[in-house]
Chains A and B, each alone.
Chain A
Amino acid sequence: MRMPQRGPDRGRIAIIGLPSLWLTVFFLVPFVIILRMSLSDPASAQPPYRPLLDWSQGWAGIRLFIEGLDLENYATILTDPLYASAFLTSVRIAATGTLLTLLAGYPIALAMARASRRWQPFLIALIFLPFWTSFLIRVYAWIAILEQDGLLNQVLLAAGLVSAPLMLLNTEIAVQIGIVYTYLPFMVLPIYAALEKQDGSLVEAAQDLGSTPARAFWQVTLPLSLPGVLGGCILVFIPVMGEFIIPDLLGGSDMLMVGRLVWTEFFSNRDWPMASTIAVMLLAILALPIVIGQRRAGVGSMKP
């Protein structure tokens, strides 16, 4: 009886084991290193943190190491308003950016899903086209567009729409433009996927039952695409929370977001433990709502 079961068992071990191994090597181990660093103190040495684990002293060394760890950095983050304000700024900008990306992305996804089958692969390719150029270069290009004597201001002035050039670069507007531009594909594709698999006769059924085309959208198309909307929002919100390049290049020096905070602590202040602490806090803030959300979704789908 045991022999026939070995094959499937091995398959199952491989299916669960390979991703687990991947996650262990590339997520869990680095995370443990970061977590351990966040509990350490900075030091003017190489590596720049203490305590270090001294294996040569055996158990005593391990005890000394554990006694050297503390939650001091977490206490600093929770008490110093600078960190709190950076986190709040990040949440605000990420939330606004996600909403703007959603507003820009949904109509695109809807138009793609309603386009003729023949055109859809081409339209998807268009959405991906910007990825052929380096992200950094594309953000730099926005500087040329948004700066005081940049392309946009020249067009606006020439068209007589403004009398003086607009201050766009180094404002939150520029950051939001950069976010919407950069993250649009991550919003469009999940929503498109949700809309594309919708049965077209559902909208016809809604209209047949007395819905105007607009009401049919609100009552049928939109609710059925919500999983795609949620997926797109997660794909945009999470990376924008830790975004460093866009606020750094387009947002000016006084825009303090979490990503820049980590960079400053790590490279300017050489405070690796504090940089790690901020990273752990960011992860906690992002992971909690997702865990809760998934639990809800799981319970919801099981309920009759």
Chain B
Amino acid sequence: MAADSPSASHAIVIRGVSKSFGAVTALEGIDLSIRKGEFFSLLGPSGSGKTTLMRIIAGFEQPDKGSLMIDGEEMAGVPPHLRPVNMMFQSYALFPHLTVAGNIAFGLRQQRLGRPAIEARTAEMLKLVQLEALAGRKPHQLSGGQRQRVALARALARGPKVLLLDEPLGALDKRLRQETQAELKRIQLSTGTTFVVVTHDQEEAMALSDRMAIMMDGKIIQVDAPGTVYDRPANRQVAAFVGDLNQFPARVEAGPDGVLLASAKGIPGKIAIAGSAVPQTEECWLVLRPEHMRLAALADGSADHWMACRVEDRAHLGAQVAYRLCLPDGRIVLAQAPAQAPEASQMAGAAILVGFRAADARVLR
């Protein structure tokens, strides 16, 4: 992306932003560029600083250090009401004394547009979120999902350069969540707005985002597409945060022909690791995703390394069966197998082999 000049192709450019609240460091040396039209997620556990970063972009907090540019303009000293961003609040923050249409028109009225222009834009927004029939209702007369759509329409009405969404699906039940994910994606594509979502829900972030930033303890650990974060996590914490993980303490040494060999506790033999940046001397971990584990009665060619184990527990998830397996040393290994596969019929207590391919194993710090 050498052609990217920050002002031309980026909606948000953050350089060296730090923020403390008293003795607590909320953000430390944040560098982040978000491209125009991108669906971007800030993903992290609570307390990771993602909400503070969003509030700095919206202008509700001032960074102690560093700079923030939105659409090529420096934002230092620009108050929230003059920034070309709008925010969808986690609580939705709908104005209880205004109707649905009044809420959506609120931001337009601040721009002192003429009445016809306001009404036209409000109608357009109502149509976008399919709430035309409820324009006259007050927020307390709406369901949770309807409120969420009003909040979205209100935040989009002014045509912001960037839309900030704070845990947009957090207050919805599971079924509504999936519908709304698709809806958000549709609206983001049709308006071409840059969406920045703050969430602690990795499934939500993976499903929605073009790219995501993983935040932990006030720092950005990794910025990548969801698939890359999942397959090539920057460290063990990121790997564990974006999905289930089997972890084995390991050591790495140089083998013949420049191949790296890992020896992991509880795994027989040495595992040949595809190019890894982990220094050989350092304490590290061999990690494996449950879906990369193979189950078999006899060792065969489907895996490079096999371990004896006992089925502790199994859960039928529909298309997949999830296993909890117990190794002889007491370590628990998670595995998944397609429900139709013959090895998926193992019952609790059964003795079986669990294996993996060396190519699926990662060595992380």
| Chain A residues engaging chain B, CB cutoff 8 angstroms | 199, 201-202, 204-212, 215, 219-220, 223-224, 304
Contact = CB atoms under 8 A, between A and B. Distances in A.
Interface stretch (B38-46, B105-113, B234-242): B105-113
Chain B contact residues (Cβ within 8 angstroms of A): what range? 20 to 34
B174 interface: no
B110 A215 contact: yes
A304 B93 contact: no
Interface stretch (B78-86, B273-281, B297-305, B346-354): B78-86
A204 B111 contact: no
B96 A212 contact: no
Given A204-B80, A208-B58, A209-B107, 12 more contacts: A205-B93, A205-B94, A207-B79, A208-B86, A209-B86, A209-B110, A209-B155, A211-B110, A219-B106, A220-B95, A223-B97, A304-B137
Contacts of B58: 208
16 contacts: A202-B95, A204-B80, A205-B87, A205-B94, A207-B79, A207-B81, A208-B80, A208-B81, A208-B155, A209-B81, A209-B86, A209-B154, A210-B81, A211-B81, A223-B97, A224-B96
Interface in B55-110: 58, 60, 79-81, 85-87, 89, 91, 93-97, 106-107, 110
B19 interface: no
B158 interface: yes
A73 B45 CA distance: 77
Interface string B334-364: 0000000000000000000000000000000
A201 B89 contact: yes
A224 B93 contact: no
- Report the 7 A-B pairs with minimum CB-CB distance, sorted nearest first: A210-B110, A209-B107, A205-B93, A201-B93, A207-B80, A207-B81, A208-B87
Contacts of A223: 97
Interface in B9-34: none
A210 B141 contact: no
Nearest to B91: A201
A210 B111 contact: yes
Interface string B128-168: 00000000110001000000000000110010000000000
Given A204-B60, A204-B80, A304-B141, A209 B97 contact: no
Contacts of B155: 208-209
Nearest to A223: B97
Given A210-B81, A211-B81, A304-B137, A205 B95 contact: yes
A44 B110 CA distance: 71
B89 A205 contact: yes
B1 to A, nearest CB: 31
